[in-house]
Structure formats: structure tokens, C-alpha cells
Amino acid sequence: MNLPAENLLSNETSPYLRQHSGNPVHWRAWSPQSLDEAKRLQRPILLSVGYAACHWCHVMAHESFESEDVAAVMNRLFVNIKVDREERPDIDQIYMAALTAMGEQGGWPLTIFLTPDAKPFWGGTYFPKEPRYGRPGFIQVLEAVDKAWREKQQSLAESADKLTDHVEARLAAKHASSSIDGVLLTTLANGIFGMIDHQAGGLRGAPKFPNAPFMQTLWLSWLQNGNEMHRDAVVSSLEHMLRGGIYDHVGGGLARYSTDAEWLVPHFEKMLYDNAQLLRMANWAFAETQNELFRIRIEETVAWLLREMTVEGGGFASSLDADSEGEEGLFYTWDKTEIESVLGNDSSLFFNSFTLSSPSNWEGKPIVCQTPAQSHNALARRAEVDAIKLRLLTARERRIRPGRDDKVLADWNGFAIAGLAEVGRALLRAEWIEAAVRAFRFIIEHADADGRLPHSILGERKLYPALSSDYAAMANAAVSLFEATGEVAYIERARSFLDQLDRWYADSAGNGYYLTASDSTDVPIRIRGDIDEAIPSATGQIIEAMIRVADASGDVQLQEKAWRVAEHATGRASRQQYGQAGIVNACALVINPIKLVIVDDLADPKFIPVANRCPDPRRVDLLVPIGAEANLPSLPGGAYPPTTKAGAFLCTGPVCLPIITGPDELEQALRPRVR
């Protein structure tokens, strides 16, 4: 099949790809047909990977991909393929690993050159159209790569073979299994704690990312070992983020990262996954500290999700752009005159509660942030501060909004569903749980006739097959909904997701899973999903889902299987633990699974509110009405809880405490303690 000499992105599922459909570049999406074209023409491939909310992706697009001169060179010399990293994280991970193996700094846009059989031989990230920033101009790069390919094709092909072998060994290799124990988590947590910025929170240096997998490692270390310093590092990091400029104080929600070491200047794009994970971490921190800052930020972030990120049908969009009107952060920033124009005589309340900061390297309007004292003042006068924030939000809505990437990703939505279900339980907000139910239904209603999920949904367009991370995240979301609603159907649905993993993603030995399905036809390397990104790895999510479903259902065989998969994942992760904290965290759940069975009066519960306000990521909660006789959950050893009166059964692994007969006793048992 000969592809036409034109841009072919207009009918793609990805909004990011469709943003480039008007480029004079003859873009193709990643597909078997595009790869075949490169082989037929014996041309190298220019692969460009980015995403809709990426600022420098937009810059390179405007400078180079919209340029007739640049496009003419690209079309003459290369087969040009554009990839949305959010739709194809499998492709992105392969070639990002190749770039870092070349000794280059990773990031997006990823610009990498491949042989006609899709093996990488050279690359970089952003290239300006004209030489600057110490980088060559893009046309110079294109012509130099073409010259090297023509004159040194054999040596480049040999280098590409070796580089591909290296990437495959790193991302798809098999290693001997390794025993799992609590030492693994403790060692990693101590290492992460050694990198913590004890003044500003997060990891030392800049840029600063929320890094949810690392924060979870520290939190699990606190729960497992009673290490207060690890707990305090998480709490302090969250406080700094949620007072800093990285947080949207007017509209709620966290930006992707800050460009500085103080959480002040954000890269203004907002990602669904960051905010979904923020809900869970802020919920743990609020339960532990009772600091109202965390509860308020949960409420504001959920309000943002429901107001700005919900698509028709109830799913959640992927991201909001950093740019509007061609300027980064313009939608979110304010100057003093604008504040005074909107608030009038109430401006003093704003400036008592917030700061407009203009750091030296920032060229835009000032960024809203808070000092600790201002945060304290805002909490003390919350009703008044909420009123002025609403007036600012109303005024901001009249601005030109940043673009929204409306594609609904199954794995990111799984995180959002779990987060909403958990904070809905903790803060007694039934409407949040209902929003989680709607999003869950949205995803499963787009499964195909065989029950297989899509990875990406945009209106009537769907991208099949899903990744293993999609099934894992949705299985974990199903368990969280089961805990929030008591509906056993969610556990049955979680089991069906695990069945799909076994059918399409399991390795031949049954000891682990690949990121891509066995019938995916366009992946040059079938990699394991071991590497964390801004969310835990697919492997970590799978192990977590397996042990949570096993605990909820009392399935001993599934528990044993989770242990085996964890051992093999640990064997691989032991070589690069900092990039695979998600696996270490999941193994901590396998070692110390906690099951809480509550028998309670559902109309007037005494024990359920205690469990709701004491969240623990290691624990699965099962609710049983007083007097129930059927569908009772089993306790370890196969016994069933008596249901004649209210009580709670708290079990760690195979051992259960004596029945807990009072809510205060249950709260004492569930609260983490210093050891």
C-alpha cells in the first residue's frame, strides 16, 4: 500500500496529532503502513513525539513544522511520523530510553531519527529553526543526518542494532526472581529521603516535580516502619506545593511541575494524572495531620476536575495546555491592577491571603502563591476568601482559555476514579463517588464486543488495544469503588480486567506482563511496563491490583500469583530501583496486605466512618450489613465473620486481631504509630 504524499493526521484519535494536520509536513501516524513506507522507500524515519499540553512542542511546531522551507526538507529526506506520547507510551518509552542511552537529556518534544526498520541511530529534543541556545538550526540537523545516513549508512545501521539491543535488554529483559521483604522498601525510602529538599519540600534542585511514586514510597515507609521523618517529608512537600505557584489558587488543581526549586514558577499545563494522585496523597496527609489546608485543596481540586475536565458522558479529559493566546501562563496570571479592578475594596483581603510574585527569570505577569502566614490567614477567613476567589474565577472565565486535550485515557481515568472514590468516602461527599461511578461506566461502555478496553477515547474515535496499565488502573479503580459503595459487581469487574491481562499481556512463563498486547502489530520491541513515569509503572499497578482483588475476594491462588509476579518484578527492579519505585511500593502491599471487614448498621453506621477517615493504601475495606447471611467475605483461614452485631475484623496477612467491638478501639487500631 502506497501512502499519499500529504499530511495524514486529520482523522486521528489524538487531538495532539490533529493539531499538526495542517502542517505542510507529510506527517504519518505511527502504524504498520507508515513503517512499511520507510522500508519500501529505504528512507530513514524522522520520529517526533510530544503531547498536547507541551509548551516546547508548540514552539517547535510553530517554528519548524509550520514552515514551508523546513517541511520541504523533511518531506524530501525522511518518512515523517508524529506520535502522541500519551496515546503511545509504549513507543515513547522505547525511543526515550534510546535517547538517554545516547547520553542525551530526555524530554519532549522527542526528535529521533530511525533506520527504515525503525531502529534509532541519533536524536535530541527541541531544535530551534535557526541556530540558538547552543543548538544547531533544524534544517542543519536534517541535512547533517541525511549526509551521515548516505555516507555512513552501514556503520549507523550497526550502531542502531547495538542501541536497539541495549534498549531491549533494559526494557524487555528477563532476570532471575528475587525475594521480597520489607528491607527493599526501607532501603529505597532511605535513599529517597536523602534526596529530599528539607527547606522547600520535594527533591532537591530544579525543576521540581510532584513525583507521586517517590512520595508514596516515603508514606509506605512511615506506615510500615513508623518512620516519622519520612511521613513529615511527604507532609512538608505537599504543604509547599499547595501553597506555591504550582497550585492554581483561583481555580484549583496542580500544574505539572515548577521550573524553579521553590515550587513558584509552574510549567502551567495541568495533567489529569497529577491531580488524581494529589487527591490520594492529600487525603492521607489530612487523615494524619487534620491540617485543613489538605481538605480545602482536595475540595478545590475536585471542583476543578468536575468543572473543567469532565467530557460528555462522564469521563475525564487528559490535560489543559500551558499556553493561551500564544503565551505560557497568560490565562492563570494576574497583575495588581487586574486584582483591584475585579475586587475593588476587597483587594486588601486578597493581598493579606496571597502574594503576586514576579521572579527574576519569569517574563509573564505575576504568579499567585502563598506564604505560610497567608495560608493560615486564608484558612481562618475561608468563607470570605472563597468569595473573592469566586469573583476572580468568574472574571478569569472571560479570558481565552487554554486548549483542552479531550481524549479520555483509560489508565489516567482509573487514577481519577480511585482518587474520587477515596476522597468521597473520607469527606462524606457522595456526589464525588457518583462522579467516579460515571467515569468508570464511561470507560467500560467503550469496550469492544470481546470486552477489551480502548486505551484512548475521543467522541466516536477509539484506539485499541489498551495497554496493560489501562487494565491495572481500572482494576484498582474498581476496588476503590467497591470499598466506597459495597457493590460486589465491582470486584467481579476487576477480576475480568485481570483475566484480560492474563489473556493478552502475560509472558510465556506466567511470571509477569508486557505493556503491549500480544496482538499489537506495530511495536518494534515488546517491552515490560516496569518503568515509572509521573505515575507508577504498569507492573507496579498490576501487582497492586492483583493483591487488592485477592484480599477483597479471599482468593488465595491470586495472592500466591501476586507474590510470584512481585518476586520476578523485584528481580528486574533491583538493578534500577529509583526508576521503579512503583514496583517496590506494590511489593510492600504484597508483603503486608491488610483486610478490614466491618459489620455495621448501614443506615446508622458506627464503624464505617472510622474506616473512611483512616485511609491506608495497604488496606482493603469490606462492608457487611448486620444480619447478612449470604455473600459474606471470608477471613484468612476461611472463616466468616458473625453478623449478629456490629464489629470489625482487622487482618494483616493470615493473622486477625480479636473482634473490635467499639469505634474508638477501631480508630486506635487503624492509626499508624511510631514504633
599: domain CATH number is 3.40.30
Per-residue pLDDT of 528-578, as tens digits, reads: 999 999 999 999 999 999 999 999 999 999 999 999 999 999 988 777 778
Per-residue pLDDT of 25-81, as tens digits, reads: 999 999 999 999 999 999 999 999 999 988 899 999 999 999 999 999 999 999 999
Name the domain boundary from 561, 591, 621. Answer: 591
344 and 367 both lie in a single domain = yes
117 and 146 both lie in a single domain = yes
pLDDT for res 135: 79
* Residue 428 within any structural domain of the chain: yes
Cα atoms in the Cβ-side hemisphere of radius 13 Å centred on 369: 22
Per-residue confidence at 519, pLDDT binned at 50, 70, 90? very high
Name the domain boundary from 377, 398, 419. Answer: 398
306 and 377 both lie in a single domain = no
In the structure grid, which three cell numbers stand for residue 184, read together?
A: 527493599
Residue 363: Cβ within 10 Å count: 8
* Residue 3 within any structural domain of the chain: no
* Residue 1 within any structural domain of the chain: no
Residue 234: Cβ within 10 Å count: 23
Q: Which CATH number goes with the domain that contains 585?
A: 1.50.10.10
Question: Cα angle vertex 298, ends 474, 209, to 5°?
Answer: 75
568 and 428 both lie in a single domain = yes
Question: Is 301 in a helix, a strand, or coil?
Answer: helix
319 and 342 both lie in a single domain = no
392 and 433 both lie in a single domain = no
Amino acid found at 460: E
Number of domains in the chain: 4
* Residue 2 within any structural domain of the chain: no
* Residue 225 within any structural domain of the chain: yes
Per-residue pLDDT of 489-513, as tens digits, reads: 999 999 999 999 999 999 998 899 9
126 and 79 both lie in a single domain = yes
599 and 574 both lie in a single domain = no
407: left (phi over 0), alpha (psi -120 to 50) or beta: beta
* Residue 104 within any structural domain of the chain: yes
* Cell 477483597 belongs to residue: 552
Per-residue pLDDT of 272-314, as tens digits, reads: 999 999 999 999 999 999 999 999 999 999 999 999 999 999 9
359 and 391 both lie in a single domain = yes
pLDDT score of 234 more than 90: yes
586 and 634 both lie in a single domain = no
pLDDT for res 2: 85
Mean pLDDT, the chain, as a whole number? 95
**Least confident piece of the model among 365-369, 629-633, 640-644:** 629-633
165 and 187 both lie in a single domain = no
Its domain, for residue 391, covers 332-398
Which is it for the CA torsion 651, 652, 655, 660, positive or negative?
Answer: negative
* Residue 5 within any structural domain of the chain: no
Crossing angle of helices 292-308/430-444, nearest 10°? 40
Name the domain boundary from 398, 414, 429. Answer: 398
Per-residue confidence at 675, pLDDT binned at 50, 70, 90? low
126 and 209 both lie in a single domain = no
Per-residue pLDDT of 328-337, as tens digits, reads: 999 999 999 9
